[in-house]
Structure 1
Amino acid sequence: MELKSKISGDRNINILADDAESEDLFDSLTQLGYKRPEISAVVTKMPENVKTLEDKVRWCLRNLAK
Structure 2
Amino acid sequence: MEKYSSEQIDKLLEQKREDGKLKSRKNCTHKDIVKSFLNGKAHSYVCMECGYTNKSRAAFFSYPESDRQMG
After TM superposition, the score normalised by the length of structure 1 is 0.29
After TM superposition, the score normalised by the length of structure 2 is 0.27
Identify, as 1 or 2, the structure richer in strand: 2
Identify, as 1 or 2, the structure richer in helix: 1
